[in-house]
Chains A and B, each alone.
Chain A
Amino acid sequence: MADFDDELDASGLNCPLPILRAKKSLTALESGKVLHIIATDPGSVKDFEAFSKQTGNELMESREEGGKFHFLIKKS
């Protein structure tokens, strides 16, 4: 997994909390920094794709590992 600057563990949280928390964490980051998000909500896979497309923050990586979903999002 690529490097990241900040991490958000949204495990156990359901829609729309992972997105809302991620938005908050991204707001605190400078442009170009990368946020690593961990989630257990299966809906978050499509949601983070959609979030990235609509907000312009690049989804660099999306993968499942050990029953958890990992996302890397670069702040635009």
Chain B
Amino acid sequence: MEAKKLAIIATKGSLDWAYPPFILSSTAAALGYEVEIFFTFYGLQLLRKKLDLQVTPLGNPGMPMPLGMDKWFPVLGTALPGMQSMMTMMMKKKMADKGVAGLEELRELCQEAEVKLIACQMTVDLFDMDTSEFIDGIEYAGAARFFEFAGESDICLYI
């Protein structure tokens, strides 16, 4: 039987949104899927050798805040300087405490499982990104390259 195929477009470059593409891809690969992820716009941040991703409570009313801050803390307070780095630090600590995998680890597991990582060439040009800062083993291509695989996929996700 031919392997099932999963195609993902990863568009977000924050710590929280970095997880779904890598969790789904590594799991799908473990289940025998062929997987390709196309990284575009802010998603390109997920391909940096050194990941320095942040999470922000700003404009995110669904984010659980520590100490019940979401109940009494004014929305504007989430824009205070230092709030983003504090929330990022707390999120990372929580993830480590709960045994959630590190992003680098999940990304490596994806690469070991031969998940194809494709970086959007247009985004690289648009933001003058330095490809030497990206991990090895990725492909640079455009939208047509994505459709080559996505057109035959069983599952196609935009994240």
Contacts and interface: CB of A to CB of B under 8 A. Distances in A.
Interface string B1-40: 0000000000000000000000100110011100000000
B30 A16 contact: yes
B83 interface: no
Contacts of B99: 12-14, 17, 40-41
B124 interface: no
Contacts, number: 31
B30 A23 contact: yes
A16 B26 contact: yes
Nearest to A10: B99
A55 B28 CA distance: 11
Interface residues of A, number: 14
Interface in A1-52: 12-17, 19-20, 23, 40-41, 51
B89 interface: no
Interface string B56-95: 0000000000000000000000000000000000000000
The interface size bin for chain B is 10 to 19
Interface of B: 23, 26-27, 30-32, 98-101, 109
- Binding site of B, secondary structure by majority: helix, strand, loop or mixed? loop
Which A-B residue pairs are the 7 nearest by beta carbons?
A23-B30, A14-B99, A16-B27, A12-B99, A13-B99, A54-B31, A14-B100
A19 B101 contact: no
A24 to B, nearest CB: 8
17 contacts: A13-B99, A13-B101, A14-B98, A14-B100, A16-B23, A16-B26, A17-B101, A19-B27, A20-B27, A20-B30, A40-B99, A41-B99, A51-B30, A51-B31, A54-B31, A54-B32, A55-B30
A20 B26 contact: yes
A17 B96 CA distance: 13
B100 A19 contact: no
